[in-house]
Copies of this chain bind each other. A is one copy, B any other.
Amino acid sequence: MPDFPRKANFASDNVSGASPEIVAALIAAAEGGAMPYGADDWTARLEAKCAEIFETDVAVFPVVTGTAANALALAALTPPHGAIYCHPGSHAYADECGAPEFYSGGAKMVTVDGDNGKIAAGDLAAMLADARPHGVHNVRPAALTISQASEAGTVYSPDGLAALAEVAHGHGMGVHMDGARFANALVYQGLSPADATWRCGVYVLSFGATKNGALAAEAVIFFRPELAGEFGERRKRGGHLLSKQRFISAQLEAYLSGGLWLANARAANRAAARLAEGLAALDGARLVHPVEANEVFTALPEPVVEALEGNGFGFYRMGGGPDDGSDGGVVIRLVASFNTTDADVDAFLAAASA
């Protein structure tokens, strides 16, 4: 992996530091002792706060990575002989080295392609129409996982999500949301957390904070706590029950306090929108997906991309190449963070138009 200079790094929202409020919470939590494995005050407060924010009973399990959150959550929905339906570009399918297969005991991930990183309810329904023609010879559709925001930086509408969930439920499947960028999607939608999740049919959420200002903090949140019956064992067995769990819970508590999570997400989305606006106005640049959260996918001429790299800007090339509709350009991904500044954005745009 190239080692980019620190200036204007759009490689990912995980290249940023941490929010001062979250660091402060960590410092405070480090001062005294506490009972281990979640029997601490921070965790208790976090659980109460999640129930309040999501307006329903929830079971909350802090973990340290999105991969752990996704794989553990999917394993709670899927038997070893089950199938997990997902977008081929989803992180769980493409970028977790088979973690869902590992945690589920060998389930099959079945891909449902769709534009802009999203699955359409009709496509899912078509694939499920005859999913088990031979009974026990075929894996059983068990879970649908959708990413909100998607890997393409787009956001499902509540109607789109509800339609998907209805199809899934109709086939006896659970619905999981990979919310590594849940806050970014939420502020784009302007919905309440409840309206954006369980009221649309989501059973379990990977609630991410790491990409949005935490050091390492995610939570698996069950809106149907009865599905979490064996989750404690699964988490422990996966090595994801921290003895000093308060240090994750404290991060999450700070994240959810005073609207920090939403403020951070708004800042990131705003920076992405500024980037998108600038690129849209740029000759030779093209936006590949609608920019709805904090990610921008743009096609730029190869020489421009090389110059930006040479200049020390951080971002990833997305493979692809001419045949992905990029008109001979190179598709790159730019991710804005909670602490991306206007100056970062403007420096990038200036360099890109030079």
Binding site for B on A (CB under 8 A): 1-4, 6, 9, 11-12, 14-18, 23, 26-27, 29-37, 39, 63-69, 71-72, 79-81, 94-99, 101-109, 130, 133-140, 210-211, 215-216, 230, 232-244, 247-248, 314, 319
Contacts and interface: CB of A to CB of B under 8 A. Distances in A.
A74 to B, nearest CB: 11
The count of identical subunits is 4
Contacts of A37: 1, 137
Contact of A39 (B1, B96, B98, B232): B1
A36 B23 contact: no
A83 B1 CA distance: 22
Contact of A237 (B12, B32, B80, B210): B80
Contacts of A2: 35
A136 B26 contact: no
A9 to B, nearest CB: 5
A39 B133 CA distance: 15
Contacts of A235: 136
A158 to B, nearest CB: 29
Given A39-B3, A81-B237, A237-B81, A139 B98 contact: yes
Contacts of A106: 98, 101-102, 104-106
B210 A244 contact: yes
Given A65-B239, A239-B68, A35 B81 contact: no
B14 A32 contact: no
**Nearest 4 CB-CB pairs, A to B?**
A68-B239, A14-B243, A101-B106, A136-B232
Main secondary structure of the interface of A (DSSP, over half): loop
Given A79-B230, A102-B238, 6 more contacts: A1-B37, A17-B30, A64-B64, A68-B238, A97-B139, A101-B101
A239 B34 CA distance: 26
A238 B237 contact: no
Contact of A36 (B14, B71, B133): B14
Nearest to A72: B239
Contacts of A65: 239-243
Contacts of A29: 17
Given A17-B31, A30-B215, A136-B233, A81 B67 contact: no
Nearest to A19: B30
A108 B109 contact: yes
Nearest to A242: B216
23 contacts: A4-B35, A11-B35, A14-B36, A17-B31, A18-B30, A23-B30, A35-B314, A63-B239, A64-B216, A67-B236, A68-B239, A71-B239, A95-B138, A96-B137, A97-B136, A97-B138, A97-B139, A105-B105, A108-B109, A136-B233, A137-B236, A215-B247, A238-B238
A226 B243 CA distance: 31
A241 B33 CA distance: 27
Contacts of A12: 36, 243
